[in-house]
Each structure stands twice: as C-alpha cells, then as structure tokens.
Structure 1
Amino acid sequence: MFNILGNGMFRSEHYRCGEQGREAVRPEDSIVMRVLGTLDEIEACADAWREIEVSCADPMAYFQSYDWCRNWVRQFGDIGRPYVITLWREETLLALWPRMIVEAAGIRRLETLGVPHSQYCGALVRRGTSPKLGIAQKLEAAALQSGCDVTICRAVPEGTALAGFVADKPEVRGADNVASMLDLSAFASVEHYTNGLGKLQKRNRNRRRNHLARLGALDFAVIWPNDPRFAELARHCTQMKRRWLRETRRYSAGFSIDGYDDFLAGLPGDPVAGEGACLSMLRAGGRVVSLEIGFIRQRHYYAYVGGFDWALRHLSPGKVQMEMTIAWLIENRIKTYDLLINPADYKASWTNTSVVVRTHAQPLTWKGHVYASAWLPTLRPALKSLHGRLPTLIDRITSVLRPAVCLLLYV
C-alpha cells in the first residue's frame, strides 16, 4: 500500500502485521518515492542525480542525465510538466526515471522527458540495486499516480534496465526501430580501424579528402563548451542542418520548436573528464565546412546533429568530418559511435552493429485506450505518410503550417 505524503512524495509502509505481530521489513519496503515536478526541485537533486549517473550500468542513458534534463526543462518547460520519479533508500538515490506530463487534444500523456529531442527512453538505476522487482513496482506505482490517460516509453533500447521493467507493457504495433552503431572497442588504433576497411571504402575516403583539400589544408578539431567558440559554432551547425532539411524537403519536429539552437548551445561538457556535449569541426582552407554536435557518456558517443556547407555538398564534407570524428574517438578510447535511431543507407555504411529499440504504451483510461490502440499504431503513421507525400504546390501553400503539423506527429 502506498501513502501519499506532501510535496509529491510517496512512501511504502515500513512494516506489516501478521499472526505473530510485526514482521521484518523487506528491502523494498524501505524505499521512498519522490516525484520532482519543478526546475527548483530538479536543481536541488543535482548532486545525487550526477552521482547515480556514474554508478548506472546502462551506457545509453545520456538523455536521462542531469545536464540534458535540467537544461531541457529550463528551455522548454512549457511543453510538458516535469514528472521525474526518484527512488531513495535513506539518503541514497537508487533509481531515477525522467518523465513529463504533456496534455494535448484532451489527452494527458506521461512521456519521456525531452520528447521530441530526447532520442532514447531510459531510467538510471544504481548498479547492484536489489530487489529489481521492487524497483519496477514502485516506478510503475508512481506512473499510475500521475493522473495521465496513457504512459508512453518511446525508443527503449533493448538490454537496458528500463527495457526489463516495461517488458510486460503493450508494445506499439509498427513502432519498432533500430539504433545504428559502430563498435570501436576492437580497434587498438586508428591504423587498425583503417586497415580493416575494404578497398573501395579506402579509395572513396581518400578521394573525398583529396578533393576537399583542394579548397585548402584540412583542419579538424573537437570543441568543448568551455571554448568561447562553442555556442556560435553550435548555432552554425543547426543552421546548416536547417538548410539541409529545407533543400531536401524534410521536416523535423525538434527543429520546429523555438529555442532549440539556444538549448544545444547551452549544454555543458567537461573536456578533462571527456563527458558531456562536444562539437566536431572540420575546416578546409580556414573555412568551416562541416560540424557535428555530439555527447559522450561512459565512453559512448552520440552523433546528435550534423551539418555541412550545402554549397560544397558535391565534395561530401560531412562524410570527411565523420571519418575524422571516428579517428578522434578511437584515439580517446571511446567505445561506441552511435548514429541513433531510424536506419538509413549512409548509417549502414558507417556502422557494424545495432540495438533494437521498442515503444511501449500503457493505457490508463478509456481515452488512453483510444490513443494507444488507434492513434499511435494506425492514424499517426497514416498522417505521417500523407504528410510526406504532399504535392509541391500544396506543400508551398501550407509551408507556414509545417511546424504545427510536425509537432502533431509527435503527439
């Protein structure tokens, strides 16, 4: 039985009565649940949050980090109300699940904190924490107390703690996805990696570098947020990406939200620890030709946003930058180059492994049942398909409505 305390706190009873009187307290009965619902409460939990990141066993949990979540709430707090579930045993934080409550079209959804910008849904669980069943039950209890119509876990990577916790929850039909990755752990050096490439790959990469170098000497660097150039370069990267989206007639819900550039430019990173946000920059003859914003956590690199000079697209500066970024990662003993979800031909040529990600939706009310059984698996994909096939004329006429339509696809 759960008692609701003040300030969003939930607590299990610490004893139970039997025929012989009070029985011994079970380990899960000493766990206290607290929901963080404001930026102030999140910031007050900073030290414990950062500490559990270090002790968390899941490497694919950057989008559950304090830096990402705190900065997202600070920038986009009007999109959804934070509902960060934390589990404590005395003063020790055992688990943390960043969620948010989003209300649209009369439906309240308990979503991944940071949607549509967060790429993976996960929970931070302290390594060695037991019993796992008790942790899962209390996380679910807090979710049920949210008052939402449906709880959604988008893009849960296989093999993570959260994947185990939600394995019995309904999966959204047709929403399975794959994260494409390059496993770098087997390469002792950049030369070792290069020698393993096929002849055609080597020839193409050499050709691209040589053609790009005709503009001038190639200069590659990784820029961290403590560099005064970082914020400006991060904004330049998003501008390049927007140009690519516009030219290729693609649309992104994340890019349609005002303040996205400032959010990325304001993410922290530590060059000494080799953790957090960083930016790969490639210049040719002193001209910035390609940029990539990425994140590093537990020797796992997320290639988050890449952009290149559209005028030089025939020289493939983005591919040259990717090659140099991989070399830098190997030199700095990073284990994984993660190109994130949504398979693509270019990703297949740069990666050698993948991780299945699944989406779960648990209805809690009749409106949640309609949302989970009709909107997510059927109506939303149909709208998305229609959205991608709009005739050119209609597309131009309705261009002003695109941001709203893109956001609708993430509802």
Structure 2
Amino acid sequence: MMTTAARALTSFERPTIEQCRAVAAVHPTFCEFDLIMDRAAFDALETEWNDLFAKSGKPANVFQTFNFCWHWANHYLRERNGQPSTLKLLLITARRDDRLIMVFPLVSERMRGITQVFWMGGSASQYGDALIENVPDKDAILRAAFDLLRSQSGADILRLRRVREDANVTPLMNELGATAAERLVAPYMDLTSAADFPAFEQRYSSKTRKNRRRLFRRLEEKGPMQFLRLHGGDEARQLAVEALGLKSEWLKSRGLLSNAIADRRMADLFADLAEGKTKPAGCIVSALKSNGEIAALEVSFACKARIAMHLIAFNLEYEKSGAGVLLLEQSLKDGYAEGLEACDMLAPGDGYKFDWCEKADPVVDWVMPLTLKGEIYARVYLGFLRARIKTAVKKLPKPLRRLMRDGAKIAAAAER
C-alpha cells in the first residue's frame, strides 16, 4: 500500500482553490490518499467501506458494495492453475479526519504491452462509480485521486465502462476531457409511478395485456407452472449457474460469444453471490418452471429499494412460449410486494426493454489515455478498429459467426 498524505489534497501537487473547482470555493481540508494494491489492505476496509456505503451509496451503486467486490476479488484476483491473476488491485481511498470518505474501486491488467485500468467488478458488474461522501469539495477530491493514479500507478489507459450520467465520476470525466467511447441508455421501470402492479400495468395497451394473459394460459395448458423468488440458498446457487448456461446457449444459437460468460469465473462468482452464505450482496434469483422444468431465469441485485436485472435468460425450448415475458411480469409483481421503487433493466437499451420501460438513464463508456502508448491504443484500436470489427462480425452469416465463435472458445480455453 502506497500512502500520500496532504495538508490540503495531496503532497505531490497541491492545487489552487481555482483548480479545485469546489463548491463556493471551499478549500479542501486535510486528506490522506492511499493507493491500495494488496488483498489484505482491501479486506481491512470492510467496516469503513460498509459505513461509507450506508451513508453515501446510491441505489445504482449496487456493484460497488464491499460484499460484491469481495466476492469478485475471490474469483478474479486469485491464482488459476498455478498462475497468478493478470488482474491487480489498484484501489484508491481518501480519508479526512481519520474517516474514510472516498473509495475509487479500480483494478489494472497488463495485456499485449498495455496496462489498462478499469472498474473492480469488471465485466461481471454493470454500473461503475466511485463512492464518496457528499462533501462540498468532492470533485476536487476525485481529481486528486485521478492525479495520484496517473502519477503512481504506471498505467497507460483508464477505461471506465457503464458510467451513469448521475455518477460521482461523471463531472471528473468531463473535466478531464475523457473520450466517450460508447453512449448507451439503461431503461428502467419507476414503480413509484403507481400504487401497485394492477395500476402500473394500465400504462400498457389492452392488446399487450391480453397477449401476456394468453401466453400465461397457453403455458399453463402444458402443465403446472411455478414461480420462484430466491433470496439465497443452495437452489439459488444452482439456478444462477444454470442461468448463465441458458444465456450461453442463446448466444450460441445466434452465432454470438460473450467472453465474460464463457469465463468459468463468472459462473463461480454468480454461484457464491446467489447462495448468499457469506457476505450477501443482495442477489435474487427468480425462476419460472413448467412441468418441473426451468423455462426462464433471472439473476438480479437489490440495493436501497432498486433492483438491477443483471441477467434474464430462457430455455430455448420455451422461446416461443413467452417464458421470459411471464417471468419478468412476475418479477414486477414481486417488486411491488417487496417495496421496491425501481426495476432497472440496465444497458444497453435493447428494443424489448422499451416494451416494458418508459424511462432510461444515459450511460457512457469513458476512455482516458494516461501515456503516449495509451493515447495510441485509444486512437488506433478503441477509436477505429474495435467498432469496425464488431460491426463486420455482426454482418457475417450465422454459420460463419458460429464457426468463429467456436474457434474463439477453443483459443480462450488454450490460454487458460
């Protein structure tokens, strides 16, 4: 752990009041910044992190809870097959008057000669943000944390995915002139807009409501239906892994590949999160069974009256039966029963999500080069090649995409 103490913000470069851009020109009081790079130091933050989250965490910060990050670290930072993880902790904290007031949860990875920094939680999470008390000078504190990262981490590029418009770090990204590599929207349902589900569903057309009732009757005709809502336990553990399997099969049927889902660590992580045996992180597993067989599954994370619908998957044998639609409708009913205020379907803003959602929050993937090498990587690969490669692959015929997908899986397995 590297420590930088400061009389104002940092000892490596104390900014002027104008540079701080603090509200009402309030100059920051004493802050001590730590660059945490070892697991023991991370674990030691648990109580303080939880206190900070309870006081200042937002509902959308569900993936920045200590417990979620702890589980992620257990699977993604540990050795695999006798080899150390390529991921390294690079977490920045700020203290004022011996009290933790900021956590910037980051990790780094060096690949092909480039050291990249991104959110702790990586592709297993969704929204990314820093946790910070709502102090007048919070923007200046975040800027000082970034300056520490740039001067002492040795990183080439900062890549912050899924940053909401209302995130704490959004003003920092704008101030730095970071590049918006991708702009998305995250559709959500505002449950406070109606007293209960029957009132909420009146916003949908009568034709839509009739179609959903018809789907329910047709599936019911095939045999007994059962809805499950699991807040932890052995069955939740097993179903969370099965949900990833169903999603993988759906991707395969369309000639697509998700490296995140193909990575066995994702399934192991979801299993522990869903079971909730140690350090629960708000994971809820919902299921629809038909004749005792899984028809659809959902893995979500609840935080401060908001639920993030992380993964929705259905059995391909039930694709035409609307099993996913029926499970989502039941999840809304359960949300009202549990006193939730919002059901967030997350980015990207796919069309089917807007069949349910009337509102959406802007989300940005930010890129900020820290070195010349990082600048070249950002411009040549991220800014030019990557998007064109993705577009070209999507235009390929399904059989060819499947062939490429299988080849990529074999290559990934060989690397592991």
Q: Does the alignment reach a TM-score above 0.5? A: yes
Q: Note the 1:3-402 alignment, pairs <5 A.
A: 7-13=1-7, 28-77=28-77, 78-126=85-133, 128-144=134-150, 145-172=152-179, 175-225=182-232, 227-267=233-273, 276-391=282-397, 394-402=400-408
Work out whether residues 61 and 127 of structure 2, in 8 Å CA contact, stay in contact via their aligned partners in 1. Answer: yes
How much has 1:215 moved relative to structure 2?
2.3
Residues 129-138 or 42-51, more deviating: 129-138
For 1:362 and 1:395, locate their aligned partners in 2 and report how far apart those are by CA, in whole Å: 32
* 3-state SS in 2 of match to 1:326: helix
* 3-state SS in 1 of match to 2:247: helix
How much has 1:314 moved relative to structure 2?
1.3
Change (3 A) 1:199 1:182: same
For 1:390 and 1:74, locate their aligned partners in 2 and report how far apart those are by CA, in whole Å: 38
Amino acid at match of 2:302: I
For 1:379 and 1:46, locate their aligned partners in 2 and report how far apart those are by CA, in whole Å: 41
How much has 1:106 moved relative to structure 2?
0.8
Work out whether residues 171 and 359 of structure 1, in 8 Å CA contact, stay in contact via their aligned partners in 2. Answer: no
Work out whether residues 61 and 120 of structure 1, in 8 Å CA contact, stay in contact via their aligned partners in 2. Answer: yes
Work out whether residues 139 and 171 of structure 2, in 8 Å CA contact, stay in contact via their aligned partners in 1. Answer: no
Amino acid at match of 2:7: E
Deviations 1:52-99 (A, max 9, x none): 111125321112111221111210112421111111113321111111
Residues 38-47 or 391-400, more deviating: 391-400
How much has 1:405 moved relative to structure 2?
8.4
Work out whether residues 222 and 280 of structure 1, in 8 Å CA contact, stay in contact via their aligned partners in 2. Answer: yes
For 2:234 and 2:229, locate their aligned partners in 1 and report how far apart those are by CA, in whole Å: 13
How much has 1:275 moved relative to structure 2?
6.2
How much has 1:116 moved relative to structure 2?
2.1
Amino acid at match of 2:293: R
Deviations 1:179-203 (A, max 9, x none): 1111111121122112332111111
Work out whether residues 289 and 317 of structure 1, in 8 Å CA contact, stay in contact via their aligned partners in 2. Answer: yes
* 3-state SS in 2 of match to 1:34: strand
Work out whether residues 172 and 377 of structure 1, in 8 Å CA contact, stay in contact via their aligned partners in 2. Answer: no
Change (3 A) 1:268 1:45: farther
User: How many residues align structurally?
Assistant: 390
How much has 1:401 moved relative to structure 2?
3.1
Deviations 1:129-185 (A, max 9, x none): 232233122221222121111112222100221112222233435511111111111
Amino acid at match of 2:198: E
Work out whether residues 132 and 138 of structure 2, in 8 Å CA contact, stay in contact via their aligned partners in 1. Answer: no
TM-score by length of 1: 0.88
Q: Which residue of 2 aligns with 1:20?
A: none
Residues 344-353 or 161-170, more deviating: 161-170
Amino acid at match of 2:119: T
More helix by share: 2
Change (3 A) 1:374 1:348: same
Change (3 A) 1:315 1:79: farther
How much has 1:43 moved relative to structure 2?
1.3
How much has 1:207 moved relative to structure 2?
0.8
How much has 1:29 moved relative to structure 2?
4.1
| Structure 2: gaps (5+ residues) | 15-25, 78-84
For 2:176 and 2:214, locate their aligned partners in 1 and report how far apart those are by CA, in whole Å: 50
Change (3 A) 1:108 1:270: closer
* 3-state SS in 1 of match to 2:261: coil
Amino acid at match of 2:344: D
TM-score by length of 2: 0.87
Q: Which residue of 2 aligns with 1:3?
A: none
Amino acid at match of 2:107: M
Change (3 A) 1:14 1:168: closer
For 2:378 and 2:385, locate their aligned partners in 1 and report how far apart those are by CA, in whole Å: 10
Quick one: percent identity of the two aligned structures?
20
RMSD after superposition:
2.6
* 3-state SS in 1 of match to 2:360: strand
Amino acid at match of 1:164: P
Amino acid at match of 2:154: G
For 1:132 and 1:335, locate their aligned partners in 2 and report how far apart those are by CA, in whole Å: 27
Change (3 A) 1:195 1:395: closer
